Structure 1
């Protein structure tokens, strides 16, 4: 419990019990006059009430009663009220017999009357305190579920954007090895490109977004390395609207989609194929498309981990206005084409969505 909540709790304890007891004492004072012993009893009741209710608070916090379902919580609350009311009765009844014996004669159900009187007070306190913490516990549990879900999704996104396909790395190294003797200059360039690609992959989990031009540089390095392997079987084209170069996009996302395009499209086509990346701005939204030769298979349509996580990463960063879809275009004269489309709203709409969830703003 925070310091401010502790102060409020103790203020309510002392003020509530003091006010309740003093009202009863003033009623006695107006009727029977001043009696120092009755005043002492009133003060004792204040501290006894605070002690009993504080022990109840420690008990429900120790055993997490507020996490119990209602049908298990209710009997425990009623039993606690009965016990506390009985303790208050055991203190007050014998003393009242000595201080105001004339009142005892007129009460046939004295014991039950005392227990019910103190029980109403205890029940009001217990219900108020338990209901408050029951609601607060449910709210905290809901926030924890949201944060846990967000954390899981971001962990998946980190795994996705920080890992390159190991088969690609092995193939790239084999291709570079073949170039060492045939074309040393090109081999050196390929090593530089692979090094840059690996560095960006390792740094990706430290950044939520990067500029589109930086992400495209990663894509260009990736395509250049694949070009060494596929040679003339792979045709690449990147067309970017200059207005989109500084837009923020999730790191390694486009590289993952381009890799998917080559793996499921170009590599399976008998004569090879093409990969085309385009960007533009329509209605203040960034639109990116990755087109490639190929037929959309069941695995791609259902979206494996990579494709499904692309949509989750976009929603996590930018909210529901960001979209991702992959579909089969109508047949072209040069063969079937698969298209993956990404739409990202303006940065201010949702780039810090996760931080808002953490701070309880969403």
Structure 2
């Protein structure tokens, strides 16, 4: 049942029960009277009309966004005004009787107003509290959606920063092959096109299968081997249970590139890069080991760290929240170790796109 239908059902049932609660004892004591019966029906309709008018006012002027003291004052005054209207309409319409009620028996009349005021106040408080809670929930929903939109925008910016960085390095790797070994150059061009295609798709996808990311890393390493030849040795060991795990696109390629640039490239005799993946406590653990030593150039304030290492940590935070982590440290004197932990899903709440409608 829709909220609108629930609202009108509660309106009709609520006012019918309230009026009948007073009308039935009257009939049992004084007997049935058509005039009183019609008056009861009129009061039901009148109560629905007045409270529905209050609903329109509170929604049009957005009273629920007011501070609680101001909102409470408006509710009390509105109930008093509507109670007075109900009392006046229920009084005889000729001036003489009305003057008698107002002048000769003011306490009886205002007691009658107070009786209506209490009933109307109960209805208004119920609806106002509900509407206030709905508005609060809607505001929280909008904040969440805004946060998610900002995170998505951040992720796109971070991904776009990666594209030119690896492209230039890959072009430098393939350039020497054009004249020396055209067959290898063709293979290199194919590998580069694969990397570029995945880079372009990275701007459209939040995550990709790990196996797809590993293929990109392998293409990149093969291109780098053209430049470093035997000075670069690499090994990729992936647990078969991890190949369909979702990871941020181009993330591992960036870490491997960082390891080669700041590790292998600086070693006189070359070095190695090892990449492995496994599942530990329902979390994907990716380990990248490479020759080299950590220096200040790999801090998050450097050019490399700003685009590579820092982006890795930020992308993981944007996509997975606190469930993911990244760290890089010196494993031993000659080996740098990077660890990426990726949970099965994002910690960001999934919100329905349907509009939240209040009564």
TM-score, normalised to structure 2, is 0.81
Aligned to 1:311: 316
Equivalent residues in 2 for 1:102-141, closer than 5 Å: 107-141=105-139
How far off its partner does 1:266 sit?
4.8
Q: Distance in 1 between matches of 2:183 and 2:350?
A: 51
Q: Which runs of 5+ in 2 are unaligned?
A: 354-359
- Decide whether the 8 Å contact of 1:162 with 1:252 is kept in 2: no
Counterpart for residue 156 of structure 1: 154
Distance 1:96 1:268, change over 3 A: farther
Deviations 1:246-298 (A, max 9, x none): 24131322123223334554566677654331223445543211123231548
Residue 329 of structure 2: aligned partner? 328
Q: Partners in 1 of 2:157 and 2:102 — Cα distance?
A: 77
How big is the shift at 1:63?
A: 2.2
Which of the pair has the greater relative contact order for Cα pairs under 8 Å at 6+ separation? 2
Alpha-carbon contact 2:287-2:340 (below 8 Å) kept: yes
Q: Give me the whole-angstrom Cα distance separating, in 1, the residues matched to 2:66 and 2:261.
A: 52
CA RMSD, 1 decimal: 3.5
TM-aligned CA distance change 1:91 to 1:207, over 3 Å: same
Contact 2:275 2:288 in 1 (8 A): yes
Structure 1 residue 88: deviation in Å?
1.3
Distance 2:199 2:125 in 1: 55
Q: Which residue number in structure 2 is paired with residue 16 of structure 1? A: 14
After TM superposition, the score normalised by the length of structure 1 is: 0.80
When structure 1 is superposed on structure 2, of 175-184 and 64-73 the one drifting more is 175-184
Counterparts of 1:162 and 1:149, CA distance in 2: 20
Q: Distance in 1 between matches of 2:267 and 2:71?
A: 65
Q: Is the 8 A contact 1:266 1:273 kept in 2?
A: yes
- 2:247 aligned with 1:246, yes or no? no
Matches within 5 A, 1:175-194: 175-194=173-192
- 1:294 is aligned to 293
Equivalent residue number for residue 357 of structure 2: none
Change (3 A) 1:275 1:6: same
124-133 vs 173-182, which deviates more?
173-182
CA distance in 2, matches of 1:311, 1:81: 54
Cα gap change, 1:32 to 1:165, in 2 (>3 Å) = same
* Greater displacement, 110-119 / 141-150: 141-150
C-alpha deviations, 1:107-166, integer Å up to 9, x for none? 441342232111101110011111112222222332333343334334433444466331
Question: Is 201-210 or 288-297 further displaced after alignment?
Answer: 201-210
Structure 1: any 5+ residue segments left out of the alignment?
none
- Residue matched to 2:49: 51
Matched residue, 2:345: 351
8 Å Cα contact 1:180-1:187 kept in structure 2: yes
Is contact 1:14–1:50 with CA below 8 Å preserved after alignment? yes
Does the CA-based 8 Å contact 2:251-2:312 persist in structure 1?
A: no
